[in-house]
Amino acid sequence: MKEIEIAGGGLAGLSLGIALRKRGVPVVVREAGNYPRHRVCGEFLNGVTLATLENLGIAGIFTDALRHRFTRWWMGERKILEAPLRHPALGMSRWVMDERLREEFERVGGILRVRDRVKPMAREGLVWAAGRHLEKASELLGLKAHFEGVDLGGCLEMHVGDGGYVGLTPVTGDRFRINVCGLFRKGDGGGGNPLLRALKSCGLRGLAARLGKACLDPKSLTGISGIALGPQERQGELLTLGDSERMIPPFTGNGMSMAFESAECAVAALVEYAAGRWTWTEARREVEDLLEKRFASRVRLALVLHRCLVGSVGRVVLSSAAVSGVLPFQWLHRKLS
């Protein structure tokens, strides 16, 4: 069989590598960083099905994941919604998840090369899963940190402020350890915790005070900038997956699920290529078609709602609809995941 090379050892890259190895395909994953590590993400899976995880061969990794069944939303200091999730969201720290995926990939015979950076140049057999396109003009900033001593009652929380929003997620069953991850406008800098500072700048002072009383894990504090939401800039005929292909706005909690789903979209076509039954062009086009069918409408709807959440008029409309009970939350949740 022909070898598949994957640039990027995140969720999409490692899960694709595992799925291909379990089908007898030789795989090399080249990762610019190392393991374990913290990542800017919500640290729960919302939307991915057990069938997808089983198809990728990674369902066993999540047997002890937390099961989140409810979500609560605040608009500023006002709680506007509490609702059950259509399916339980699976909660797990990326520190743990990435390490488990790495171990499984190497256990099934995959070759992992860390601290190995690849140039994004299209070539036969290369899958690009190395993360989002860097948009230097973007004013968006992602921040994440773990706190201990915050009891969410097992729920997911979303807090929407002026031009930004942040999600809170339990990541362990004890010590009330939570992940706090938000998307904000870039600020003017300053001292202290940048995440708490960003919360205050977008009007979420109550939440900032609540987290200020908790215990921050300083090693978990992570940030990213240059974020471009939606379809990412194409690099010629490079086959891209996960955030490299398109980014859904993070309020959906669906980004990690999309990473696994995009890997699933690629498995069958890459097996056909590796076995010599398809050309690389045929395999790449098949994957691109599957990604478009699976994600295009989902991401378009999410972008519309994102613009509402970060705009003052849109926030008023959504808040009023939620409080009055006319916001179709279950329909939106189904369409966005």
Q: Is residue 155 part of a domain?
A: no
Residue 256 CB: number of other CB atoms within 10 A? 28
- Give the predicted TM-score (pTM) of the model: 0.95
Q: Is residue 181 part of a domain?
A: no
Residue 330 CA to residue 11 CA, distance in Å, equals: 27
Residue 214 CA to residue 177 CA, distance in Å, equals: 10
Q: What is the pLDDT of residue 188?
A: 59
Compute the half-sphere exposure of residue 135: CA atoms within 13 Å on the CB side of its CA. Answer: 18
End-to-end CA distance of the chain: 35
Q: What is the pLDDT of residue 161?
A: 96
Q: What is the domain extent for residue 42?
A: 4-135+228-335
Q: Is residue 160 part of a domain?
A: no
Q: Is residue 62 part of a domain?
A: yes
How many structural domains comprise the chain? 1
Instruction: List per-residue pLDDT tens for the chain, 337 residues long.
Output: 999 999 999 999 999 999 999 999 999 999 999 998 899 999 999 999 999 999 999 999 999 999 999 999 999 999 999 999 988 999 999 999 999 999 999 999 999 999 999 999 999 999 999 988 778 888 999 999 999 999 998 899 999 999 999 999 999 876 689 999 999 998 755 667 899 999 999 999 999 999 999 999 999 999 999 999 999 988 889 999 999 999 999 999 999 999 999 999 999 999 999 999 999 999 999 999 999 999 999 999 999 999 999 999 999 999 999 999 999 999 999 999 9
Token pair 């860390």: residue: 114
Q: Is residue 116 part of a domain?
A: yes
Q: Is residue 162 part of a domain?
A: no
Compute the Cα dihedral for 41, 44, 49, 51 and give only its sign: positive
Q: Which amino acid is residue 37, in one-letter code? A: R
Q: Where are the alpha helices (DSSP H) in the chain?
A: 11-21, 50-56, 94-107, 194-201, 205-212, 255-274, 280-310, 312-324, 329-335
Q: Is residue 19 part of a domain?
A: yes
Residue 200 CA to residue 159 CA, distance in Å, equals: 12
Where residue 96 sits, what CATH number does that domain have? 3.50.50.60
**CB neighbour burial string for 212-221, b if at least 16 within 10 angstroms, e if fewer:** eebebeeebb
Q: Is residue 73 part of a domain?
A: yes
